[in-house]
Structure 1
Amino acid sequence: MLKLQYLFNNVNLAEMILENWEFDKESLDMFKYYRISSNAIYPFTFEGKIQLLRFAPKTEKVKENIEAELEFISYLHNNNYKALESVATQKGENLIEVRTPWGVYYASVFKRVSGVQLSETDLSDAIVFSHGKALGKLHQLSSKYTPINNKRWSYKDVFEWIMDILRDFPQETAALMEVKLLRDYFSTIPQTKANFGMIHYDFEYDNVFYDEVAKSCNVIDFDDAMYHWYVMDIEQVLDSLQDNVPSENFDLKKQIFMDGYLAEFEISDEMLSLLPLCRRFANLYGYVRILRSMADQWDNEPEWLVNLRERLVNGLKNRAFYFGADI
């Protein structure tokens, strides 16, 4: 999540950045459908087809990580995996660094994928099975992937980033304890091509689209991708599934999802036993991202920001529940 100062709508900034790509001038009205979280996303069209401008301040991102993300997406496309596709600028670049009156930004553009978000479907057995197949296929391709130019960061780098952020929050002793517990435990888990590689990390219901015509899923938003155990992605999906289906249906839908996954890629029961530890990793990472994001505060904040702060504070409490518990 970006720092709160970057969550304000800035149409002038978006228009300045978009000038590097071809676009339909009349489609700028679509900017009103923007969203900002880990990036600013502004929709527009080119030749009548929807595309998405994505940008974030240089201070909030690591260029090598973005380049590695784009390289991995290209690899997936070359292997017929259904994921978002980047669009080159008028100069042929997929990632640009733009100087603006509001600072320096990294920016890319992506084509909109077909289908509707899984969260907007009825999550039928066929859709949940397709979701599982999409993740299994992603991990199958990841297990064979070797980056050419740029390597994405790993869970170890995330731990280092967390420690760096927590230096500014010396009162967060429970979070520091959680880092030590998880880092020590993860160091004992073997890494093989069968259990460890590039994961999506956010393979949840708002980042996967179901195409009813093709009867398959399309995947977006690899911005949080990292090297981790594949079971981390499974935990994130199951957590999202639990939020989207009635509790009495969860076990059945979970099994259907896993059946789809196993149709494409094997994972051992031993690795699945790590699901609770992966949840703690996600909670810790999310906690520190929120902590960093909301550190600054201003006078006379707008109502939407006041409400957002309240939700974020509640999010901190929920994520910190198991900090320091024995493993």
Structure 2
Amino acid sequence: MEGYETNLINAHAGGRNVVYNCEKEGASAKILRIAFLNDRSRDDLLGEVEYIQYLFEHGGSVSNVISSRKGNLLEEITHNNHTFFVCLFEKARGKMLVENHYQYREGVPITEYYYNCGKVLGKLHQLSKGYAAVHRRYSFFDKYNVEYIDNLIPGTLPLVKEKMVELLKTLEGLDRNRESFGMVHFDYNDGNYSIDFDTGQITVYDFDNSCYCWYMFDLAGLWTHGVGWIQFEPDAGKRKKFMDNYFETVLEGYKSETRIENSILDKLPLFIQVTVMEGIVDAFEVMRNNGEEPECDEELSYLIKCLEDDIPYKGFFHEVFSCEEPFECEERNI
């Protein structure tokens, strides 16, 4: 990295790494990532970077990991009895949608973006179906299980725990065959990919949460992030029509790269509930990792209400939703 100018990238809420942007004239920009929390082992991180390298080498549109001078994808440094894991990535071409003020390519319909989101994800899932891990990442149920939820979620939220356990039981009954279950990104959204605004090409990164799960989870995540385009529309019927058209375009892109059975697509409402559960779990993990007392803000209270009251589609077509304050409701005490 000699000659590179290195600048710290501001961490987002709940960020788990220290990340630097590295630039040098005449060379492609790099991203340096340092993992410092003790919640991930060397094998966990190797499982992530080996998967990224596999995707890249087989044509997946991802930011590739770069080997160190010793030929390692991951370097381990111990300082003052603390272990740091360091890896380097090619910086993705283009920029995030938010950096472009949520404006897509000039003169190009936004449907191209929806289609490409599905297409890029479909390619990653198709590659995952043939992936044989050296260092295996954890599986969904290794983290999302009754014991973990019971320890993480405060005892003052017994109905939330009950609903999560019901959800897990339903998931345990689903098929886990090669066509429906494998390595997924688990956080596929516009904060974790860049767009080349000259071509529309999407490059994916941040596989920090990648694990073995149903491919449908990533698709449900794409559905939930699509609501941002129409969330200020007061008419629920118009929101529904938009989301149907949006997701149909996403699926066209997705199916251009991989197969998916209608029987699993029919489980979209179930997996949207799983994304709601994941959002609640993530919120409490961030509070725990930051040493904060558990509390429910408006956004977390909204997710909890959707889960407790069995409100489908993240409440987007339900009276609980307000277009003035999207995905928020009155704070609740814990």
Aligned equivalents of 1:250 and 1:279: distance in 2?
13
- Match of 2:252? 259
Shift of 1:113: 1.0
Which of 35, 40, 51 in structure 1 is aligned with 2:18? 40
Computed over aligned residues only, the root mean square deviation of the Cα atoms, in angstroms, reads 2.8
- Match of 2:65? 86
Conservation of the 8 A alpha-carbon contact between 2:75 and 2:87: yes
1:201 aligns with 2:186: yes
Which of 212, 217, 227 in structure 1 is aligned with 2:212? 227
CA deviations 1:5-46 (Å, max 9, x no partner) are xxxxxxxxxxxxxxxxx2435x13x32x43241322221225
Q: Structure 2 vs 1, CA of residues 194 and 165 (structure 1 numbering), >3 Å: closer, same or farther?
A: closer
- Match of 2:316? none
Aligned equivalents of 2:200 and 2:308: distance in 1?
44
> Match of 2:191, SS?
coil
Shift of 1:296: 7.1
- Match of 1:126? 112
Conservation of the 8 A alpha-carbon contact between 1:178 and 1:323: yes
Q: Structure 2 vs 1, CA of residues 130 and 297 (structure 1 numbering), >3 Å: closer, same or farther?
A: closer
- Match of 1:19? none
Farther off after superposition, 314-323 or 199-208: 314-323
CA deviations 1:295-319 (Å, max 9, x no partner) are 4778xxxxxx9xxx98x73332122
Aligned equivalents of 1:276 and 1:254: distance in 2?
13
Counterpart residue type for residue 202 of structure 2: C
Counterpart residue type for residue 288 of structure 1: V
1:97 aligns with 2:76: yes
- Match of 1:153? 138
Written as runs of structure 1 = structure 2, the 5 A alignment for 1:14-93 is 22-24=1-3, 27-28=5-6, 30-31=7-8, 33-36=9-12, 37-46=15-24, 48-93=27-72
Conservation of the 8 A alpha-carbon contact between 1:178 and 1:284: no
Q: Structure 2 vs 1, CA of residues 296 and 253 (structure 1 numbering), >3 Å: closer, same or farther?
A: closer
Q: Structure 2 vs 1, CA of residues 106 and 313 (structure 1 numbering), >3 Å: closer, same or farther?
A: farther
Shift of 1:294: 1.5
Instruction: Give the structure with the higher percent helix.
Output: 1
Aligned equivalents of 2:180 and 2:60: distance in 1?
20
CA deviations 1:95-146 (Å, max 9, x no partner) are 1222235932222121101122244342712222111111111111111212
Aligned equivalents of 1:49 and 1:102: distance in 2?
34
> Match of 2:160, SS?
helix
Counterpart residue type for residue 71 of structure 1: E
Conservation of the 8 A alpha-carbon contact between 1:130 and 1:217: yes
1:318 aligns with 2:314: no
1:136 aligns with 2:129: no
TM-score normalised over the length of structure 1: 0.79
Conservation of the 8 A alpha-carbon contact between 1:23 and 1:44: no
Q: Which structure 1 residue ranges, 5 or more long, are not aligned? A: 1-21, 299-304
Q: Quote the sequence identity (%).
A: 22
Counterpart residue type for residue 271 of structure 2: C
Aligned equivalents of 2:298 and 2:35: distance in 1?
26
> Match of 2:297, SS?
helix
Aligned equivalents of 2:111 and 2:164: distance in 1?
38
Shift of 1:61: 2.0
Counterpart residue type for residue 269 of structure 2: P
Q: Structure 2 vs 1, CA of residues 182 and 237 (structure 1 numbering), >3 Å: closer, same or farther?
A: same
Aligned equivalents of 1:105 and 1:178: distance in 2?
37
Q: Which structure 2 residue ranges, 5 or more long, are not aligned? A: 313-334
Aligned equivalents of 1:315 and 1:98: distance in 2?
38
Counterpart residue type for residue 42 of structure 1: Y
Shift of 1:233: 0.5
Which of 243, 249, 260 in structure 1 is aligned with 2:228? 243
Which of 92, 107, 132 in structure 1 is aligned with 2:86? 107
Written as runs of structure 1 = structure 2, the 5 A alignment for 1:156-235 is 156-160=141-145, 163-164=147-148, 166-167=150-151, 169-235=154-220
> Match of 1:97, SS?
strand
Shift of 1:51: 1.3
- Match of 1:11? none
Q: Structure 2 vs 1, CA of residues 42 and 102 (structure 1 numbering), >3 Å: closer, same or farther?
A: farther
